Every structure is written in C-alpha cells, then in structure tokens.
Amino acid sequence: MSTSLRNNGAAFLALSAAALLVAGLGLALFWAPEDADQGISQKIFYVHVPVALTSYAAFFWAAWKALRLLWKGGERYDLESYTAVHMGVIFGVLTLVTGSIWAKVSWGHWWVWSERQLTLFLILFLFYSAYFMLRYSTDPGPRRSRTSAVYALFGVALIPVSFMAIRLAEGLIHPVVFKRSGPDMDGTMFVTFCVCLAAMLALAGGLYLLELSGKRADASLRELRERLA
C-alpha cells in the first residue's frame, strides 16, 4: 500500500515539477523585468538560486533521515538519507555550473572566489563527495548506515560554520573585487522566484522518490535472490 503511494507520489511530483518548470521558465523569460545593471543575464538567478536552495533542502532532509536512523534505527532511513544526499550533490553540482555560467557572463571569469555561495557549495561538494567514497569503501551493514548518518549530520553542521569561515576569509585572501548587488525583488520578481523555487523542489522530490523506488527494488531483489539461492 505504501509502495503504491510512493510511486504515485513520484508521478505527482514529476507532473507538478513539469508544470511549475514550464510556468517558471515562462515567467522568468517573459514576465519578470530585466535588471537595469546586468541585463538579461540576471535571469540566471531564477535557475541558480532555486537550485542552490533545493540542494540545501536535500542535505537537511538527509540529515533529518540520518537523525531518525540513529534515533530509532531502521534500514529504510539509511536508503532515504543516502538518496537525499545524492539529490543534494546533483543539485549542488548544478548550482556550481549555473553559478559559474553566471560568473562568466557577469565578470568574464568562470570562477570567482568572492562569490560566497559558490565557495560554500564547493566545500560542500568536496564534503559530500567524500560521503560516497565512505559508502563505497565500507561493507554494507548497520555500521555503514550509522557511519553515513553521522557524516550526513556533520555536513549540516558544517554548512553554517563554513559560511562563517568564508566570510571571515574574505578579509584575508583575495580582495573583494566582484560583488553583485542582491536583487531587491519587486513583486513580479518575487512571484517568479517562488514559482521557480517550487519547481526545483518538486523536481528534486520527484527524482528522490523515483531513485528511492529503484534502490528499494534493488534491495528487494537482492533479498529474493538470497532466499532462492
């Protein structure tokens, strides 16, 4: 019963994501005003920031599931946490790529250290990539689940700490040359942003449920195979 609910959940989210993405794209390109300074390239904002926020959301979701694992136990939380981290990394990479594109068009460089969010995502990318290394090189079992869960929790603790570090580092290292004035969002921009954010969250949610289905099917098959052997 819960399986079919999950499958329908994935379909529902995928459908919502499709609708919201189309709506968001339309609004961003045709309705939202063009930025006075940056011109049309500012509209990358409507992809870049929602993707970044979705990535954070995924990491927090992973940490929540990790906490549940450590608190109550239960292998399902391990799969859920793992899949959520995977989503977080995928959207994290998208954040880095879209951010890089935006940097290139804004300032002519593919990477600028003065972009705090990008630097933070770089650190998080390194951190959560090591998560996969950890999982792949540890034998499956309760110890791996618990270790992964602890690591996922460390990740969310690292997010604010790293951000503070990046801010503190700005005074020390590269001079702050490139600064983008944050959009003071008026009504239309805000609505567009919200639609795009909802779209990304729905997309991530749909992909998450889909991937989770696949992993559970894998696990069930493995169990079946063992029983038949």
Partner 1 sequence: MSTGEKYLWAAYLVLFAAVLLYVVLIALKVGRLERELAELARATRDRSEGARG
Partner 2 sequence: MTGYFSDVAALARKDLLVELRTRDTVPAMLLFVVAALVVFHFALPQDSSELAASGMLWIALLFTALLALVRAFVGEREQSTLDGLILAPCDRSAIWLGKTLSVLAFLLFAEAVALPAFALFYERVTWELVAGVALANVGIATVGTLLGAMAAAARTRELLLPLLFLPVAIPLVVGGLGATVADDPGRYLAFLGLYDVIFAILSWASFEYVVTE
Read off the DSSP letter of residue 27.
I
Among 9, 20, 27, 43, binds partner 1 (CB under 8 A): 43
Which of 208, 224, 209 minimizes the C-alpha distance to 86? 208
Q: Which does 41 bind (CB under 5 to 8 A by kind): partner 1, partner 2, none?
A: partner 1
Instruction: Give the nearest distance from C-beta 35 to partner 2 in angstroms.
Output: 32
- Cβ count within 10 A of residue 223: 10
How many angstroms separate the most distant Cα atoms in the chain? 68
Instruction: Give the nearest distance from C-beta 36 to partner 1 in angstroms.
Output: 13
Instruction: Give the nearest distance from C-beta 38 to partner 1 in angstroms.
Output: 8
CB 41 within 8 A of CB 105: yes
- The three-state secondary structure class of 39 is strand
- Is 57 near partner 1 (CB under 8 A)? no
Cα–Cα distance, 156 to 9 (Å, whole number): 26
The binding track of 47-76 with respect to partner 2, each residue x by CB under 8 A or -, is: -----------------------x------
Written as one letter, the residue type at 17 is: A
Whole-angstrom distance between the N-terminal and C-terminal Cα of the chain? 28
Q: Which does 221 bind (CB under 5 to 8 A by kind): partner 2, partner 1, none?
A: partner 1
Q: Which residues bind partner 1 (CB under 8 A)?
A: 25, 38-41, 43-44, 47-48, 51, 90, 94, 97-98, 101-102, 104-105, 203, 207, 210-211, 214, 217-218, 221, 224-225, 228
